[in-house]
Amino acid sequence: MMINYVNEAGWPTLTKAEQEAGMAAYAAYAEALITAGAFVSSGRLQPTATARTVRLAGGKPKVLDGPYAESKEVFGGYFIIEAENEDAALAWAARSPAIGHGVVEVRPLWDTT
């Protein structure tokens, strides 16, 4: 799984043309993954202002507004891919548009089969 951590405060500061170019870069990246047979799924998250966090407080679940931790870079989306090995997954991460405005964490999923 490639987890995209981005600075969500930067998006609203972009012009409409810059936002469209950014979305086109992600679409082209996804198409490259599909063409290579590496694409499994992907998703984009709503801003952190829409997030809710559930934690135990006094032994009971408590719902809090926002993400668990304050951070400049937040989990903004993901790609799940099939890669032959870690080097191949890291090579795909290096091509991600997210590295232009954040970081991409690469982490294997647990095999549940």
Q: Where are the chain's structural domains? A: 2-106
Q: Considering only CA atoms, give the Rg of the chain.
A: 16
pTM for the full model?
0.83
Span 16-29, pLDDT tens digits: 999 999 999 999 99
Span 49-83, pLDDT tens digits: 888 888 888 999 998 887 665 567 888 899 999 99
Q: Class of 2-106 per CATH?
A: alpha beta
Provide the H-helix boundaries in the chain: 16-35, 86-95
